[in-house]
Amino acid sequence: MSMPVYVAPEQQMKDRADFARKGIARGRSVVVMRYADGICFVAENRSQALHKVSEIYDRIGFAAVGRYNEFENLRIAGIRHADMRGYSYDRADVTGRGLANAYAQLLGTIFSSGAEKPYEVEIVVAELGATAAGDQIYRLTYDGSVGDEEHFAVMGGNADEIAKRIATHYADDASLADAVRNAVAALSGEGDRLSMESLEVAVLDRTRTQPRKFRRVRGSQLADLLGPVAEESPDADSTETNEEPSVDTATSSQPQADVENPEDGE
């Protein structure tokens, strides 16, 4: 009878942590940041049906990266926890800190259990306060660790580089439009700006009169927030297209195939 291979507890925890981090890094990034009138969520998400950003309760939002089925289970569990507490006690007793603690216990238990693999997820629980000073952003990792983010949080993908780009233009009193543009520019990096179809944007809006402060930003509202940046690259392309043929056609010795080659290369 063969003996089981011994693995030191430290090595086992390290292997599980590396496994979870690799899964999270493969996901597309999510940015959660404060702005003057609330908290903004901006995610790179090409699916219109599978959301990375959702509402948990009246003033509480949820964002996640990683495996969809795993963070969807966490989202549903959070909604049930909040509903049960609000029904049993009072709606004011449902807080982001209480929800973050519940998530931390669940994730920590799953991570330390040797019977199943750790969750490949990272989540943010954001709570909107009555004033900007009361806003809270809690970031939870795969092992149940909780961090209280003061200004913004970035998860998934190349999170460190994205956070550096956001920090250069970040301001607590920024308008919603400035906050969204800053997040989108950071997510896009050095390449072309992400299209509207690739973005999922939502806010916890302190100016809403309804008890539920969460709302999604789509369509024409999102286009207005992104502003004229969306029109800059098409104008530049059309200018280059109009100018180059006039230079090439001026040389009568060039055949027609040579005139088209520069455009094909572009």
Q: What is the mean pLDDT of residues 130-147?
A: 94
Structure tokens at 89: 């006690």
CB-based contact 60:103 (threshold 8 Å): no
Flag whether pLDDT at 250 surpasses 60.
no
Q: What is the mean pLDDT of residues 231-244?
A: 43
For residue 103, give the DSSP letter: H
pLDDT band at 261 (very low <50, low <70, confident <90, very high): very low
Average pLDDT, the chain: 85
The pLDDT of residue 257:
41
Q: What percent of the chain has pLDDT above 70?
A: 84
pLDDT band at 1 (very low <50, low <70, confident <90, very high): low
Flag whether pLDDT at 246 surpasses 70.
no
The pLDDT of residue 48:
84
Q: CA nearest 216: which of 240, 187, 196?
A: 196
pLDDT tens digits, 177-225: 999 999 999 999 887 889 889 999 999 999 999 999 999 999 999 999 9
pLDDT tens digits, 93-138: 999 999 999 999 999 999 988 767 899 999 999 999 999 999 999 9
Q: What is the mean pLDDT of residues 144-151?
A: 93
Of residues 64 and 114, which shows the higher confidence score?
Answer: 64
Strand order, beta sheet including 146-149 = 53-57, 60-66, 121-127, 136-140, 146-149
Q: Give the CA distances from residue 151 to residues 148, 168, 171, 229, in Å, rounded to whole numbers and listed in that order.
A: 9, 13, 9, 25
Q: Note the pTM of the prediction, 2 decimals.
A: 0.81
CB-based contact 56:99 (threshold 8 Å): yes
Of residues 238 and 227, which shows the higher confidence score?
Answer: 227
**Please, which residues bridge with residue 124 across strands?**
63, 139
Q: What is the mean pLDDT of residues 35-56?
A: 94
The pLDDT of residue 263:
44
Q: What percent of the chain has pLDDT above 90?
A: 68
Distance separating alpha carbons of residues 99 and 11, to the nearest angstrom: 31
